[in-house]
Amino acid sequence: MLTCAVFAGHCTACGTLLSKETLFQDLDHHQDHIAAVSIWGRIAAPEEYRGLEIKLPADLFFDRDHPYFEKVLHLPGIIFQFSCLRCQTQNAAIETEVHAFRSSHARHLHLAQLHLVIQNRRGKAVRLAFPVLDQRSEHSLRGVQASAPSADTIVQAERLRGLLQTLHCTPRSLQCSLCRSTCLPEDQTEIEQELARHKRHLGELQVEFLVEHPDQYTGLQLQARATHLPPHSVWLAPKLKLDCIFLELSRQRGGPTVTPWNTAVVEDYFRQHHSQRNPAKFLAVVHGPSHAHVCQFQVTHVHFSAPSQVSEWQQLFSQPAMEEA
């Protein structure tokens, strides 16, 4: 939960700077161009971001039926990355890295961005980058009192928590479209050798792996480009571990797109829309100690241990009508 004390705002359509008092009293005057209005907030929590001043889109909080802002805002979100436009660097959003980033980029922190995954008004999980304006000492937040988050805000936070998954996987194959070769690695050494052989064209190398945990994804075989995965030092291990924020579940060609909030959504999507000729795919942010990559996982195989489920799903995959879904 990102908690921000609002101290000002700005409307690019009107070209006016809005004081805190004006922002709360006259915001309904900007209804016709609310997308042009930004809120400037000073972060009170989490602690490692305390004192940062960021620019937030007003339409994240604005409701035409109730055009009123609290003076302290609660935004459910998953903070996954800090980036600097000047240095072209990024840091993972873990406490020690955040403090180090704020210190090393202090002189040009107005060129930094805070990256979050939030739920928008359409009910989708989206990535947003919030510009950093400045940073203040903790004294600037003395006396800030926030009301408790609303029930709806807490529900949103819990839904977002469902997008966080750590996949424990075993590499199954490495396929290079340039060399037209396939490797079925038997151990760590063979994986390292294969990566070294393709290091100059990793963009052509597809890595397929079997998910062994968590339960709702157990048995899935996923495939991704080697360049979309985290640095090799992270995933070159007997058991590949991927910390993911799942954003989207769709098909390779056409069809509906959903946010995989929970197991029921994922299983229902596979049952209705996945087929061998038009497989499902995940869009996710894969993050680690010092990186965050947007990665696309193609589902190459779905396996269920229960015999009745296997039979049912195999029948679904063989139905031509599934292509019309």
Quote the CA–CA distance of 133 and 108 in Å, as a whole number.
10
Domain boundary among 125, 159, 193: 159
pLDDT of residue 65: 56
Kindly report the number of other CB atoms within 10 A of residue 217's CB atom. Answer: 21
106 shares its domain with 223: no
pLDDT of residue 230: 72
Asked if residue 141 belongs to a domain, the reply is no
Structure token digits, residue 113: 């961005």
14 shares its domain with 100: yes
* Number of domains the chain is built from: 2
Angstrom CA distances, 58 to 35, 131, 260, stand at 7, 14, 26
Asked if residue 18 belongs to a domain, the reply is yes
Asked if residue 108 belongs to a domain, the reply is yes
154 shares its domain with 170: no
- What is the extent of the structural domain holding 307? 164-324
pLDDT of residue 95: 73
74 shares its domain with 178: no
pLDDT of residue 315: 41
| Of residues 259, 209, 257, 249, the one with CA closest to residue 229 | 209
Asked if residue 143 belongs to a domain, the reply is no
Asked if residue 81 belongs to a domain, the reply is yes
204 shares its domain with 304: yes
pTM score, whole prediction: 0.81
Long-range contacts from 155-159, C-beta under 8 angstroms, 24+ separation: 156/76, 156/119, 157/1, 157/76, 159/119, 159/261
Token pair 């604005």 is found at 62
pLDDT tens, position by position, 203-254: 899 999 899 988 878 889 999 988 877 765 555 555 778 889 999 999 988 8
| Of residues 87, 97, 18, 2, the one with CA closest to residue 53 | 2
194 shares its domain with 315: yes
108 shares its domain with 254: no
